[in-house]
């Protein structure tokens, strides 16, 4: 084996490898073609590990515009970029779609919080009896399990201080 030049996939910098170092690379990568596909120069590795974007690395190392951009999956496999870096380099459509998803999730959360605070009769029945009253045969589910009073101190029953007792379907804490 003789020495060979290999080009960095990020910056385009060529480096000559001796036959001994190529043998080590063959042990790791298998063939010279695979090694060429995954070779990143030390300068580019250092910058990528610091969190610099691929475009900024290419700019700093003065990579010509004609040199093809590297496949981000290859850099991800080499653990030179993280998921958050890949997300930053999404297309405009993908970014817009992710923003819409997050807005919808936030809207659903606020709708649910509003439902929790409204405390209407239908909500209390839904919360204590389950969907379609499925929990009623088992005694229901208490909406305020934190309220507990002993019968000798509270003759009206354990649920007397609860604001939801008027429409509650839970029978587990009520005193007969």
Task: State yes or no: pLDDT of 10 exceeds 70.
Answer: yes
Is 134 domain-assigned?
no
Range of the domain at 16: 4-88
- Mean pLDDT, residues 41-63 taken together: 87
Residue 51 scores a pLDDT above 60: yes
Two tokens at 158?
Answer: 């354990």
* CB of 46 closer than 8 Å to CB of 106: no
Report, as an integer, the average pLDDT of 135-162: 67
Does residue 80 fall inside a structural domain?
A: yes
pLDDT digits (tens, 9 = 90+) for 93-110: 777 888 888 888 888 877
Q: For residue 60, tell me if it sits in a domain.
A: yes
Per-residue pLDDT, 25? 79
Q: What tokens appear for 18 in the block?
A: 């001796």
Mean pLDDT over 143-159 rounds to 61
Tell me the average pLDDT of the chain.
77
- Give CA separation, 129 vs 116, 133, 166, 174, in Å: 15, 5, 13, 15
Give the model's pLDDT for residue 90: 65
In a domain, 19, yes or no: yes
The model's pTM: 0.45
Residues whose CB falls within 8 Å of the CB of residue 76, separated by 6 or more in sequence, listed in order: 83, 86
pLDDT in the model for residue 20: 84
- The candidate with the shortest Cα–Cα distance to 75, out of 83, 66, 67, is 83
pLDDT of residue 85: 45
Structure tokens at 172: 């587990």
pLDDT band at 176 (very low <50, low <70, confident <90, very high): very low
Does residue 99 belong to any structural domain of this protein? no
Q: Which residues pair with 5 in a beta bridge?
A: 16
Q: Residue 6: helix, strand or coil by DSSP? A: strand
pLDDT-based confidence at residue 174 (cuts at 50, 70, 90): low
Residue 42 lies in a domain: yes
Domain assignment present for residue 109? The answer is no
Does position 54 have pLDDT exceeding 50, yes or no?
Answer: yes
Separation of alpha carbons 80 and 68, rounded Å:
18
Total domains, the chain? 1
Specify if 72 maps to a domain. Answer: yes
State the pLDDT at residue 49: 87
Over pLDDT 90: what percentage of the chain?
0
């Amino acid at each position: 084996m003789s020495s060979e030049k290999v080009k960095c996939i990020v910056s385009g910098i060529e480096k000559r490898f001796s036959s001994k170092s190529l043998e080590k690379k063959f042990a790791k990568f298998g063939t010279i073609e695979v090694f060429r596909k995954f070779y990143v120069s030390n300068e580019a590795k250092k910058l990528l590990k610091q969190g610099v974007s691929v475009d900024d690395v290419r700019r700093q190392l003065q990579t010509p515009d004609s040199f093809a951009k590297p496949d981000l999956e290859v850099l991800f496999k080499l653990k030179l970029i993280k998921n958050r870096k890949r997300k930053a380099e999404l297309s405009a459509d993908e970014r817009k779609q992710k923003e819409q998803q997050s807005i919808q999730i936030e809207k659903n959360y606020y709708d649910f919080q509003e439902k929790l605070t409204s405390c209407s009769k239908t909500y209390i029945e839904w919360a204590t009896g389950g969907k379609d009253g499925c929990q009623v045969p088992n005694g229901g589910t208490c909406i305020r399990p934190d309220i507990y009073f002993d019968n000798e101190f509270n003759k009206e029953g354990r649920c007397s201080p609860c604001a939801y007792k008027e429409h509650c379907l839970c029978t587990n804490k009520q005193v007969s």
